[in-house]
Amino acid sequence: MQAIIPLAGKGTRVRPHTHSRPKPLLRVANRPVLSYVIEQLCAAGADDFIFITGHLAPRIQAWMTEEFPGLPVTYVEQVAQRGTADAIALAEPYVTGPVLIVFVDTLFDADFSVLHRQADASGIIWAREVEDYQRYGVILTDEAGYMKQIIEKPEEPVSKLANIGLYYVRDHELMFEGVRHVLNQDPNLGEYFLTDAFQYMIDRGARLYTAEVGGWFDCGKPETLLETNRVMLERGHGDRPELPDSVSIEGATAIAPDATVEASSLGPNVSIAAGSRVRGSRLRDAIIGEGSVIEDCDLRDSLVGDRVVLRGVRGRVNVGDDAVIEGGR
């Protein structure tokens, strides 16, 4: 089974980190978000991947070569980002059958056995009920759970069932026909939505079943990235080596085996990546990148990139790669 993963976005909501790192390679529990998604899709039967790349594309390809050698991947560049339908259109020459489509702004708990239980459906759209429905495309279904319509960012509460960006399309030929139709129209809200292609399919008799995910964890903003880090830590992801007596731990943490922590208090919800050094500090709800130095700091709700040096810093920080901040003592 093939899988399309659009990865071209610049990740503006998680700057400064995405100036130097593709958003899918941001870490939760010391692992890039993309690694969780690939492992889930492989377990579901995906064995041929199509990556739609753009921003920092060489970083994605280099990481895949190192972490998933031998996994078949076709890389297609999206030069201008005109929306999700435009991204998927670029994959059409390489798709030969039923296909999974995953947008990796989020992690999810999806039961892929629904592919077999709904073998007569033209496709599956996974969704999650939310309260802040105005932020999403919401799905209206019939009594049997098949999609009738998707409304992007509705002002009225017509549905709270949010489209999460995870799809399985069995009738790929009709989907690409719909994508071409969408790209020939005026843009909707300034872009071309893949969901409009799904509406095209439904209007022509396709049956797209809506399946709810058990969990949905946003990685697209600093505060939600920290919350997803908490979820993954509490699920047991990440290592925690033996630490000296001068270190106290509260709650779930992940510390890379070669990280150094001395005379510090960590947790809850702290991850420290490879090669970093923490000394004389208090860290709560924080993601620390690789090769960073944290000394005499008291940090909370913080994102720290790779090769960062922080000394004497208090409070909340959001610091990209290679920064140096020295506060008062």
Distance CA 299, CA 267 (A): 10
CATH topology classification for 239-326: UDP N-Acetylglucosamine Acyltransferase; domain 1 (2.160.10)
Domain regions of the chain by residue span: 2-222, 239-326
β-partners of residue 107 are: 217
* Average pLDDT of span 78-93: 89
Q: Which CATH architecture has domain 2-222?
A: Alpha-Beta Complex (3.90)
Residue 136 has pLDDT above 80, yes or no: no
Q: Residue 77 burial (CB < 10 Å; 0-12/13-18/19+)?
A: exposed
Strands (E), 103-222: 106-109, 123-129, 137-141, 147-152, 161-169, 208-212, 215-218
Residue 160 has pLDDT above 80, yes or no: no
**Length of the chain in terms of residues written:** 329
**How many secondary structure helices (H) and strands (E) does the chain include?**
7, 26
Residue-wise pLDDT tens digits, 189-223: 678 889 899 999 999 999 999 998 888 888 888 99
Residue-wise pLDDT tens digits, 248-270: 999 999 999 999 999 999 989 99
Measured CA angle at 21 (ends 221, 77), to 5 deg: 100
Distance CA 34, CA 282 (A): 29
φ/ψ of residue 33, rounded to 5: -55, -40
Residues near 42 by Cβ (< 8 Å), separated by ≥ 6?
A: 71
Domains 2-222 and 239-326 agree in fold: no
What average pLDDT does the chain have? Answer: 90
Contact 275, 260 (CB under 8 A): no
Query: Is 70 strand, coil or helix?
Result: coil
* Average pLDDT of span 225-230: 94
Task: Name the token pair of 141.
Answer: 């279904």
| Three-state secondary structure of 157-179 | CCCCEEEEEEEEECCHHHHHHHH
Task: Name the token pair of 59.
Answer: 């970083």
Percent of the chain with pLDDT strictly greater than 70: 97
Q: Is 86 left (phi over 0), alpha (psi -120 to 50) or beta?
A: alpha
Q: Which of 143, 139, 141 is nearest to 130 (CA)?
A: 139
Q: Residue 315 burial (CB < 10 Å; 0-12/13-18/19+)?
A: exposed
**76 falls in which pLDDT band (50, 70, 90)?**
very high
**241 falls in which pLDDT band (50, 70, 90)?**
confident
Task: Name the token pair of 181.
Answer: 């139709």
Q: Which of 290, 293, 285 is nearest to 316 (CA)?
A: 285
Q: Which of 210, 148, 127, 208 is nearest to 172 (CA)?
A: 208
| Three-state secondary structure of 53-96 | ECCCHHHHHHHHHHHCCCCCEEEEECCCCCCHHHHHHCCHHHCC
- Say which amino acid occupies 183: L
Give kind and range of the element (H or E) at residue 304.
strand 298-304
Give kind and range of the element (H or E) at residue 288.
strand 282-288
